[in-house]
Structure 1
Amino acid sequence: MGDADGTPLMRQYRDIKQAYRDAILFFRVGDFYEMFQEDAVEASKLLSIALTSRDKSSGTPIPLCGVPYHAATNYIAKLLRAGRTVALCEQVEDPKLAKGLVRREVVRLYTPGTLIDSEFLPSTESNVLAAVSVRLRSAGTGRKDCSYGLATLEVSTGDYWLSEFHGPQAEAALRDELARLEPRELLFPENLSPDELQWTADLTGPRCCTQPATWFDQEQGRIALQEQFHVHSLEAFGCHILTLGIQAGAAVLRYVRETQPSAPLDHIRPPRVRQDDDAMHLDSVTIRNLELVKPAGRAEESSNQSPYTLLGILDRTVTAMGSRLLREWLLRPLVNSAAIEVRLTAVDELKRQIDIRVRLRTALRIVQDISRLCSRMSLGVANPRDVLALKISVSSLPAIQAELSALDSPLIADLRSSWDNAQDLYELIEGAIEQEAPVSIRDGSILKSGFHPEVDELRKASREGKGWIAGLEAKERERTGVESLKIRYNQVFGYYIELTKANLGKVPPDYIRKQTLVNAERFMTTELKELEERVTGADTKLTALEQALFEQLRTRLATETARLQEISRRLAILDVVAALAETAALNRYVRPTVDEGDGLHILQGRHPVVERLDLSGGFIPNDTHLDLATSRLHILTGPNMAGKSTYLRQVALITLMAQMGSFVPATEARIGLTDRIFTRVGASDNLAGGQSTFMVEMTESAHILNCATPRSLILLDEIGRGTSTYDGLSIAWAIAEYIQDPQRLGARTLFATHYHEMTQLESLREGITNYCVAVQERDGRVLFLRKIIRGGADRSYGIHVAQLAGLPDQVIHRAKAVLAQLESSSSSGRPVQDNQQSLHFDATLPPPHPMLEEVRQMDLFSMTPLDALNRLAELQQRLLKE
């Protein structure tokens, strides 16, 4: 790099950068953090700051950019959002006292998945670090399957989970879990083969980091977990039977230790095992299609703030812990009716007890993020303001306890039992920390007067030192009779008494000569020496002592981590239950009945998000009645823009809300337990993965047919629209038959389609019922009533929708003419006569009904779904040749 690279500063930079090659190094130089070389080039683009150079005169300029040290937080946050890591390199000695080059060290490594700083963390979202371990095995016939282990750690709260995925659907299950968790960083072994890396295809969001394969060693991982949690066996945590999960769990811990070497990690909770059947399974497609946490087309919005998501509608929590827990409840609805009933009873009680609910939520509003605060204590990074926030939080516990005493629902009674007000911690902090304490422990003025006698003495010396010196000077003038006697100070000799040579005859015997000048002498006394020791450096000593005492207090609070985490858990549950009760009261929700039956009955159901929008005419509610015995599959026809997709989604959302423990937007709802919700709606492609819109549609449909059970709820919207009419109709028909057959699947299903021919299935297959969206025609105009009624529609009114969209009148008139010709041709069997050369229609295809009769007679149920689709394709090709 030339001569400039040989300067002491650049040599120091290069040595430090060598150990942090994958991070952007913030190198402290005076009042700036500077970045050099490739870091400067990259950071200048990501941060939109000027790129300059160092040592331009040397002929080999070094790229340089920098940010003011007091504004570094915002710049670090921006780099973290871009998926980069930042190594913060500070000057660790006073430049004034340094002999030569100032010593510098990296004091903190910021990575997206290991953040603990409140200024970098979204308060209402978890910040997850995840690791995945993989095992490849042959599955016969040349096919290879992978099993996966997953570990997740929320460093800022200490939540630590392990899980494993096996079987043919293991990859899909892993992907779905990652979609729910949205990890910020994802670790996996560096030696994985292409087959073992298939699960990473199309993975977006987390920063993916390959790590040494040795980090994922099972036996070493088991030892690491036992040492971390001070146990001889992992049986106590229920994870001893895991293999891949333990491998991933060890890798997560190793990564945190490597990136945060000074962090003790004592706040991490023992691992909990997450079973695949613990909650309703929601795959990534369903989470996206139902807009549970992110609105379609508005992914940049904070999910909890958006009014276009179910989470945005339900989140009336008043604490950060409660908001994060509500998101977890939403994405993991329960599948145990007794547990659901416990939640619903608690929500019901607080919905009825309005005064208690208001007072309880008022008391909860002052509670800070206890789970993250106690983690910061344990990690040794909590500042005085954090400690004050903890004091404020526990101060509300007695008031909350008082409100709970009047409630008796089982969930709240369980939370109230063994209630801990933590008043000892409140009194400890109240007696120690000044109410206006600064953020930094280096700024002093942290501790209250009376907390520690030496602090009081030093503070008195700092405040009153000048007065003491002035008083001693007056005393010595009176004692010696010398009015010109002065007590002065310099950095070399400290404090001294100065007398002119004319007054040397009056010097008392206890004066000790320090220095002789031309016209004066300087003296010291024992009293002045003692006073100097008390006054000189009092501020420095005071700051150092306050810092040490604060660190002792922080360590003391860190020993209460488990206790504070339990308090945080109880408060989060209370907050969520009270928030759901508040939402139910404000939005006119009713308590659902969730049972072991197979029915799904909703009266006057509403879409919880759409009904909150400003709709002309208001929201039109609809009923739904599904059951496995007589009406398990509804064929829903009707025009575009009439509300079919809204209706499908509202049924799914009401089901999900009921099983998470929420009241629902309806006048009555009885929900038979649902194990999974599947959705296939909308049109999208995956061009990067080589998948067209139709391929994505078929892949998602295949996933549903392979994974659904009779307990599942399936929503299908416009299956088969991505290909030719006969292809699409054939596929949609076959899928509907496969789903309705109890021997194949027999799941509760809402099937919206524009293929009106499919309404014939009601008379051909048991358990299929036709519904449509009511439409009113008047004077050539169409009014969409948005009401679901029995029967099938015979028209789609697409031209009317096109007219509403603003297509030119010439196009609309021509479309109507063409439609009339097509309908006439279809009914008579004659080819379309095209009077305008701009349009050409293939008149060789027969009308669809004979084909449908052949489809009906096919023995589809002796085939696999794929074989059935191939057979239908062959039929379509034969019909084209006839």
Structure 2
Amino acid sequence: MEKTNTPLMSQYYKIKSQYPDQILFFRMGDFYEMFGEDAKIASRILGIALTSRSHGKSERVPLAGVPYHAAERYISLLLKAGKKVVVCEQVEDPKTAKGLVKREVVELITPGTITIDSLFDSDEKNFLASLVGDGQNFGLATLDLSTGEFKVEEGFLDRIKEKLNTIRPKEIIIPQRFSEEKKIGFENFKNHAALTFLDDFKFDYDLAYQTITDHFKTTSLDGFGISDLKLGISAAGSIISYLEQTKKTYLSHINKITKTSYDECMFLDFSTLRNLEIFSPFSPTDEKDFTSKKNSLFHILNKTKTPMGSRLLKEWLRSPLYHVEKIKKRQDSVSELLGKRDKTVDLAKILDRIQDTERLAGKLGYGKANPKDLVALAMSLRNVPEIKEVLKGFNSSLLNCIKENLPDTSFIVDLVEKSMVDDPPSVLTEGGIIKKGYKGELDRLKESIKTSRNWIASLQKEERQRTKIPSLKVGFNRVFGYYIEVTKTHLSKVPEDYIRKQTLVNAERFITEELKKKEEIILGAEEKIFELEHYLFLEIRSLVSKKIEDIQKTSEYLATLDVLLSFKEAASSYRYVRPEIDSSDEVIIEEGRHPVLEHLVEKGYVPNDTTMNSEEKIHIITGPNMAGKSTYLRQVGLIVLLAQAGSFVPAKKAKIGLVDRIFTRVGALDNIATGKSTFLVEMNETANILNNATSKSFILLDEIGRGTSTFDGLSIAWAATEYIHSHPRLCSRTLVATHFHELTELARLLPRVKNYQIKVKEWGDEIIFLRKIVPGGCDDSFGIYVAKLAGVPREVLERAKEILLKLEGEELSYKNVPRPEGFTKEKSYQLSIFSARDNQIAQELKKIDINKLTPLEALNKLEELKKKAEE
């Protein structure tokens, strides 16, 4: 038997057929309803009731619904569960509709196109990315819909994938033809990004070019400087096309597209950002507070007052500068801010009053700004003239640029303050938005309501007097309107002009002709007020939207000022100094400190010096486990990064020659998700360094080769260090922390290698870690002592010492593998500060009873111990 749908369900299925893979929010009055499989999925994810409704003559369809005013919360839960949501609205008033209410899809919400405030992290960007390639090169476009930031670039696949790993987009658009391309490795992004495959024609260059120029209303892309990026344009065009499909509106805040250039920025890959703990700790544990994002460089530096300032700080840390003059401009500003404390206090207080104007501009662009948003925007922009006034006392070029170029946004401030109440509702339909005096017609309507309500307010007193009914009351409800209520005990006193309206258990409700007229005046005026206020608000929002570019420029300048003030505050609070920046190969740091750990250690942090130049480019750093080698490597890397970001640095004095990229091979973690062992991860990172580093790079190698056997690891570490030193493309500044003490031989064989060690002090049977870097190599890693600190049973320690003695005495080698050329026999594989032989001598000394020895016996015993010590 053929199934017959109701008109409503026919309308639903027609719309749903266009969005088979998304959850359809179908507006029905005060609810968004979901049907069929959508209802089942939503019920499970959202924890809402699953019911059913009539589907036709004899069938029922699953149904679930959410209130329209709470829709954003439910949509956010669906997005977090990996779903995409289609919003279908009633586009005509049900009161005036003839037959079935007309409905249209107004928005498709995906992870990369969200416009819901509650889903945004205030200090994170929300990127939508698009990727397309020809096998060799790839084009990448990225867009943050919440701010309008739109960028494009091209490069080899590995570089593009590193960029994606670094910026962590929420959604990536990819041509359908790539869906089966395993070698591209898109599956690696599934953990943090939704993958959306579009038809290949969406990436056609000619179509993309036309789509972008249509959006920007230009005839070419020459003015944006991206005309040479054919693949990049293809990717960017697919984003605009995707937004047209999902947002169903012109996005005026996307008003420019810029080319990403790496010529003037240091490149930091995801591995380096993670290993240096820029935004979060590398190895979270449950101990103390080391899991917290507070223990990251970003948190230590983040003294910003505005959300856009916080986001810009992340961008500066993610992409430090590679341009001496630009770095110096930032430094000059920080120096000047440090010298004018009173004014910086004033600036910080003003910035603290400013909300997220950058994202408010975005809400204007995609038509989601509500009355509260406009008032928040005006209240924020009201502070701009005061900032310009305070900046008059500054002369550094960057601060002067901010002062001179902050746009005049007084039009927005004046318009909103003149037209809108100070604390409006966020929902348009509630009314109470427009200020008295802005629109005469609106004022007259409100006055008529006020007059009528005053009359109604006095009616109760007058009617009680006229009817002699003391319990008579005048009331209102949304169903029956205004009424006069009389209890049944007084019904005999009801006047003839009362018209019965409603019967209750213990009372009757009436209305009079005059009350009915007043009700019509009030209800008619209220409806007109809501319509007029809605119209006026949209008109005001439209006028403000014409100033989006000014709002965006203002946000950009305020964010820059905010970050510079944050750098100033960090320098002042933490005793940072201005580093000297040039293009040399030097890294000279006097009493450098780790910017994060100095705040976490209970005892005073021990500062260390670093001296690197064209004659001394590679440092081999040896020393005990737990002595601080890894911390030192990260410390130097972070100081270099901070210096090129324009910040002051934690040191007594510093000079940094420009670095184009920081590479790190630090720590050891299995990558279980991709089936990679610790050693394979280590070798992948090492290969990346050796293949991509340049003479201007800075390399941090921590315990390279420890993930395999001793001799394999030593050989790899030795060869890699030689390669970095001698390859004509490299000779990079490099710090190598190692437990392979044989590597110290390289300082004798290679001219630009120097040995350093972490100093320790012996104290009886104990050692003290002094955390100090000093010249020279160390033969001992103190492994057995560290095992003792960890609580390894004493019998295991004693047995380890015996085995160590045999290893040292026999100088065992693995399968007779020859030692690296230049290796000297004196270097041992000793793993403890106290050798087993020394331990035996010490035990014999303890057994001697000096009081029972004659002088001659004592001399003989001393000679015997001396011979043992010399063996």
Fold match, TM over 0.5?
yes
Give, in whole Å, the separation in 1 of the partners of 2:386 and 2:592. Answer: 38
Shift of 1:749: 0.2
Distance 1:113 1:488, change over 3 A: closer
1:161 and 1:272 in contact (8 A); partners too: yes
Using the aligned pairs only, state the percent identity. 44
> What SS does structure 2 have at the residue aligned with 1:571?
helix
* Residue 150 (structure 1) aligned to one of 131, 140, 150: 140
Matches within 5 A, 1:23-102: 23-28=22-27, 32-48=31-47, 63-91=62-90
1:619 aligns with 2:601: no
- Check the 8 A contact 2:633/2:700 in 1, yes or no: yes
Q: 1:515 corresponds to which residue?
A: none
1:163 equivalent in alignment to 2:153: yes
In structure 2, the partner of 1:875 is none
User: Which range moved further: 681-690 or 774-783?
Assistant: 681-690
Deviation at residue 495 of structure 1 after TM alignment: 12
Q: Deviations over 1:432-460 (max 9, x none)?
A: 10012111111001011100001101111
Matching residue's letter, 1:591? R
Measured in 1, the distance between the counterparts of 2:221 and 2:525 equals: 52
Q: Secondary structure at the match of 1:282?
A: coil
- 1:524-575 Cα distance to aligned partner (Å, 9 max, x none): 99x998x887544110110000000000000000001111111111111111
Look up the equivalent residue of 2:120 and give its one-letter code. Answer: L
- Provide Cα deviations, 1:252-287, integer angstroms capped at 9, x if missing partner: 1001110001x2211112111112323101112111
2:666 corresponds to which of 681, 697, 707: 681
> CA, structure 1 residues 468+68, in 2 after alignment: closer, same or farther (shift >3 Å)?
closer
Does residue 614 of structure 2 align to residue 646 of structure 1?
no
Letter aligned with residue 797 of structure 2: I
Is the contact between residue 116 and residue 156 of structure 1 (CA under 8 Å) also seen in structure 2? Answer: yes
Matched, 1:582 2:572: no
The CA deviation at 1:595 is 0.5
Counterpart among 274, 278, 284 of residue 288 in structure 1: 274
Read off the aligned partner of 1:189 and give its amino acid letter. Answer: P
Q: What letter corresponds to residue 813 of structure 1 in structure 2?
A: E
Check whether the contact 2:378–2:417 (CA below 8 A) recurs between aligned residues. Answer: yes
SS in 1 for 2:720: helix
Q: In structure 2, what is the Cα distance between the partners aligned to 1:684 and 1:818?
A: 29
Contact preservation (8 Å) 2:6, 2:56: no
**Pick from 842, 849, 853: which aligns with 2:821?**
853
Aligned to 1:417, the other structure's residue is in SS state helix
- Give the Cα separation in 2 of the matches to 1:270 and 1:744: 38
User: Does the aligned pair in 2 maintain the 1:638–1:774 contact within 8 Å?
Assistant: yes
- Aligned counterparts, 1:260-659, within 5 A: 260-261=247-248, 263-297=249-283, 306-467=293-454, 534-613=521-600, 615-628=601-614, 630-659=615-644
Structure 1 counterpart of 2:186: 200
Distance 1:756 1:41, change over 3 A: farther
| Shift in CA distance, 722/490, structure 1 to aligned 2, threshold 3 Å | closer
Matches within 5 A, 1:741-760: 741=726, 743-760=728-745
Distance 1:751 1:528, change over 3 A: closer
Rounded to whole Å, the distance in 1 between the matches of 2:637 and 2:175 is 38
Q: CA separation in 2, counterparts of 1:58 and 1:553?
A: 50
Q: Write the deviation string for residues 43-76 of structure 1: whole angstroms up to 9, x where unpaired.
A: 3444455666667999987555444444332232
1:813 is the counterpart of 2:798: yes
- AA aligned to 1:667 is K
Deviation at residue 409 of structure 1 after TM alignment: 0.8
Conservation of the 8 A alpha-carbon contact between 2:31 and 2:66: yes
Deviations 1:710-759 (A, max 9, x none): 10000001111121111111111000111111535211000111111111
Residues 112 and 491 (structure 1), Cα distance of their counterparts in 2 relative to 1, 3 Å cut: closer
Query: How many Å separate the matches in 1 of 2:224 and 2:10?
Result: 49
Q: Matched residues in 1 for 2:57 and 2:196: separation? A: 38
The answer to whether residue 724 in structure 2 is matched with residue 739 in structure 1 is yes
- Partner of 1:731, secondary structure, is helix
SS in 1 for 2:820: helix
> What are the within-5 Å matches in structure 2 for residues 171-190 of structure 1?
171-190=157-176
CA distance in 2, matches of 1:245, 1:559: 29
Q: Distance in 1 between matches of 2:326 and 2:57?
A: 73
CA distance in 2, matches of 1:249, 1:303: 40
For residue 501 of structure 1, what is the aligned residue in structure 2? none
**Structure 2: which amino acid aligns with 1:455?**
L
Query: Alignment RMSD, CA only?
Result: 3.5
After TM superposition, give the deviation of residue 523 of structure 1 in Å. Answer: 12
Structure 1 residue 35: Cα displacement: 3.5
Q: Is the aligned partner of 1:766 residue 2:751?
A: yes
Counterpart in the other structure of 1:140: none
Confirm or deny: 8 A CA contact 2:745 2:822 kept in the other structure.
Answer: no
Q: What amino acid maps onto 1:550 in structure 2?
A: F
Aligned CA distance change for structure 1 residues 72 and 569 (closer, same or farther; 3 Å): same
Q: Distance in 2 between matches of 1:602 and 1:495?
A: 81
Change (3 A) 1:612 1:734: same
Shift of 1:471: 10
TM-aligned CA distance change 1:85 to 1:594, over 3 Å: same
Deviation string, structure 1 residues 147-201 (Cα, Å, up to 9, x no partner): 0111111111111111111xxxx12210121122211111011113755851425
User: Aligned partners of 1:473, 1:701: CA distance in 2, in Å?
Assistant: 87
Deviation at 1:417, TM superposition (A): 1.1
**Are the structure 2 counterparts of residues 13 and 197 from structure 1 closer, same or farther at C-alpha, using a change threshold of 3 Å?**
farther
Counterpart residue number, 2:683:
698
Q: Which moved more, 1:108-117 or 1:584-593?
A: 108-117
| 8 Å contact from structure 1 (residues 304, 311) kept in 2 | no
Work out the CA distance in 2 between the residues paired with 1:361 and 1:340. 23
Measured in 2, the distance between the counterparts of 1:491 and 1:80 equals: 36
Shift of residue 121, structure 1, vs aligned partner: 1.4
Number of matched residues? 784
- Give the structure-1-normalised TM-score: 0.83
Contact in 1 for aligned 2:659/2:698 (Cα 8 Å): yes
- Quick check: 82-91 or 268-277, which moved more? 82-91
Q: Which moved more, 1:48-57 or 1:377-386?
A: 48-57
Query: Does residue 123 of structure 2 align to residue 133 of structure 1?
Result: no
Q: Is the 8 A contact 1:171 1:199 kept in 2?
A: no
User: 2: CA distance between counterparts of 1:357 and 1:438?
Assistant: 35
Report the Cα offset of residue 802 of structure 1: 2.5
Residue 404 of structure 1 contacts residue 412 of structure 1 at CA under 8 Å; is this kept in 2? yes
Q: Which residue in 2 is equivalent to 1:21?
A: 20
Match for 1:444: what amino acid? G
> Does structure 2 retain, via aligned residues, the 8 Å contact 1:458–1:542?
yes
Secondary structure of the residue that 1:578 maps to in structure 2? helix
Query: Compared with structure 1, are the counterparts of its residues 171 and 533 closer, same or farther at alpha carbon in structure 2 (3 Å cutoff)?
Result: same
Deviation at 1:820, TM superposition (A): 2.8
Amino acid at match of 1:786: R
Alpha-carbon distance between aligned partners in 2 of 1:726 and 1:49, rounded to the nearest angstrom: 62
SS state at 1:281 partner: coil
The one-letter code matched in structure 1 to 2:723 is Y
Counterparts of 2:87 and 2:290, CA distance in 1:
31
For residue 265 of structure 2, give the secondary structure of its aligned residue in structure 1.
coil
Matched residue type, 2:716: I
Report the CA distance shift for 1:470/1:776 in structure 2 as closer, same or farther (over 3 A).
closer
> Does the 8 Å CA contact 1:293/1:304 hold for their aligned counterparts?
no
| Structure 2 unmatched runs, 5+ | 463-473, 484-496, 498-510, 825-871
